[in-house]
Amino acid sequence: MTRLKTQNQQVLARRSRGTVFRSLFARLMLMCLCPAAAAPQLVAQPPDVRYTVERESCGVPVSVYAARRALLLEQMSDSSAAFFFSADVRNRQNDVDFEYRQSSDMLYLTGADAPGMVLVLIKNGIAAQADGDPVDELLFVREQDPRDALWHGPTLDRQEASDAYGVHTASLDGYGEFMSRLLARVKTAYVSQWPTKFIQNPLFLSRTYLENQVRDYFDAKYPHVRLRSLREEINAMREIKGPEEVVLLHNAIDRTLEGFRQTLRRAEPGMWEYQLETIMESAFFMQGAQAVGYPSIVGSGSNACILHYIDNRRQTRDGDLVLMDCGAEFCGYTADITRTFPVNGTFSPEQRQLYDLVLEAQDSVFALCRPGMPWSELFTTCRRVLGNGLLRLGVTRTFDEVGWYFPHGVSHRLGLDVHDVSSSSWLKPGFVFTVEPGIYVPQGSPCDERWWNIGIRVEDNVLITDDGVEILSADLPRRADEIEALMRE
């Protein structure tokens, strides 16, 4: 019995030592592979270290953002508050995040591009104080964290944020207490957009919608408060582009056009789609773009018939068409341009026939672009031109088959989002949108095989003016002869 007890004690001692060793080993590995998890003294900074925020100015005066907030406040009901949130930081994998992109509403109302912010607009200035005075707007910001600044860079402190954005600021640490006081007094709370709409339950493939959870919470704790949306009001504001916004869109579009010029000059058979993408996007950044507005679409051959193809991993072949749908982003505003070109520099007869038909449809839509034109008429006209043209070429047998080869709309709004918000059903001065007819004939389509694997889209960006239209991307060649000439340069 004593011998058995001694053996058990020895086993337990070895297990204990092994557990301690494994724990120590794990901690050491964590410190080596992830310095942020190391002991605090390993990442301590001298007491006077200061990181500064240096960003390229977009040139928009703070008075423009203040005027937008004031206009929105006018449309809110009495005794109400509106809440706008920074976008979430999105995780790419494990502890690595995607590059941050601010909520478009927050950009529109403040110009602020950092996470962890909440903008609160308060009608009649109830329950909000700044420096002892009642205010009708507050921007809650995170306090500076030296440890976070070391790893991810600094953010503006309260005073810097107030100076930069022209709005009273408060610490995010006090937001919970502020909300309790505010909601006790307001009658309406406006939330136009949630940073995250729903959370996916991976085990049961079900969704939990945050808005529903918030509504249930309000019903239980603040039954006197109506939860409403300002989406309609802010959409109506954002869809009319002011002069400052048009300047930023011009910047984004001009950088995109240069990307297309450089790509078409260098394209040749045998290049991989991702190599064409690299030429395009590097030109964006070398010209001063700060991001891409959306993942670049580079579809060659059969991939040109996939509307939102973004894998970009096929090698081009002699005789292929390449469809490139790309846009540079500048100060949050994005371009959205598409050109389709023969990778060998010369359109085949069938490719040119369909390409010219797409241009005919685009020209027919340009002719309609003026104030007061119903938005739906753009699509109706485009579909009619494409349908009749496909019948004429013998690609289709009946007009209704046009939907097989033209399966999308012809226009969408453009601005802070590549598919920007919309409100009105007819064109107004200040609208910026795309005109993008297309024809896509995938392999196996019920037509002559000579049309198979031809995918064509031509997309330009336009601005409705007081008396007509300005084609913002007009400097980029569109017609087949012009495309071939550019590729020979």
Positions annotated as catalytic residues are 95, 308, 325, 336, 408, 412, 419, 436, 440, 457, 459
Rounded to whole angstroms, how far apart are CA atoms 261 and 365? 25
The per-residue DSSP string of 347-361 comes to --HHHHHHHHHHHHH
Beta strands in 116-204 (DSSP E): 118-122, 129-130, 133-134, 137-141, 169-171, 188-191, 198-201
Residue 209: its H or E element: strand 206-209
For residue 288, CA distances in Å to 53, 68, 236, 417 come to 19, 27, 30, 19
Buried b (16+ CB within 10 A) or exposed e, 360-377: ebbebbbebbebebebee
Rounded CA-CA distance 117/154 in Å is 14
- Give the closest residue to 214 by CA, choosing from 201, 202, 226: 226
Please check whether residue 414 is in contact with residue 432, taking contact to mean a CB–CB distance below 8 angstroms.
Answer: yes
Distance CA 264, CA 62 (A): 40
CB 405, CB 463: distance < 8 Å: no
Q: Chain centroid to CA 11: how far?
A: 59
How far apart are alpha carbons 361 and 251 in whole angstroms?
A: 27
Secondary structure (3-state) at 367: coil
Listed residue (444, 464, 443) closest to 454, CA to CA: 443
